[in-house]
Amino acid sequence: MIGFEESGVSFGAGRLAVIAGPCALEGLDHALMIGEACLRVCEDLGVGYVFKGSFDKANRTSKDSFRGPGMEEGLRILSEVHRRLGVPVLTDVHETHQVGAVAEAVQILQIPAFLCRQTDLVLAAAATGRVLNVKKAQFLAPEDMASVVDKCRSVGNRRVLLCERGSVFGYRQLVVDFRSFPIMRGLGCPVVFDATHSVQSMGGLGGRSGGDRRFVRPLLRCAASLGVDALFLEVHQDPDSAPSDGPNMVPLRLFRRLLEEAKGIWDRAMEDGFACLDWVDWP
């Protein structure tokens, strides 16, 4: 179990957690608006809440794509969100030189999918002792994440979450293989489902990524029925005008409805014993 006692957030302890926020940070007021709205919903539903936001979207289709406010301003925003809302905060790290400063500002470090095989980055992030959310690369089998987990544990960090965000299936398209959830849970880590990046179409709009947010809901329902430890959703009050990842982000006005539905499915799966992420002996 991985937990933050002061905020009531836990991963892998039989309680659902939600990681939600904008793709790229757009300023303190915007972050607080999104964070406060998500927190209210999570509190009403008895779900632990983690705010997420990126200070730099380094993995962009075009060099001209919006990347965020940068590290200095971004970390200031994230620190203030944590102080004002009292919730854990998550953000990405892309290079080893960023790790120290980012670990001082946030409670969860995220290793982006394309970088989960970067040994120096993974080791540096793990050595901070912070909780890590490591996204499975779109080109890796879930079993391959065992090596990532071993790297983290080699420096004494067992506080590792493994995140599914879809696998490449042909050009640009991602498909979620739900076998990956029990496989990655079998590595001894809580599992997270990133429902919004799983519907992304990488480079699908030419100079930027596309996506189809209509598929977030069915994928979210499937993951909830398995009893995943956490759900990851990028949300925005006006996704079609968002500077980053708009096509696959959830409109903020639908966040409560989606989460109520997913939480209801998750509760029934847990109560009825239908959640099946832990390995069982089948004949």
Residue ranges covered by each domain of the chain: 2-272
| DSSP helix/strand/coil, 253 | helix
- For the chain, what's the residue count? 283
SS3 197: helix
Instruction: Pull the structure tokens for residue 143.
Output: 């079993």
Mean pLDDT of the chain: 91
Per-residue pLDDT reduced to its tens digit, 99-113: 999 999 999 999 999
pLDDT given for residue 245 in this prediction: 77
Structure tokens at 113: 């999918």
Percent with pLDDT over 90 in the chain: 78
What DSSP assignment string belongs to 198-263? GGEETTTTSSS-EE-GGGHHHHHHHHHHHT-SEEEEEEESSGGG-SSSGGGSEEGGGHHHHHHHHH
Superfamily name with CATH number, domain 2-272: Aldolase class I (3.20.20.70)
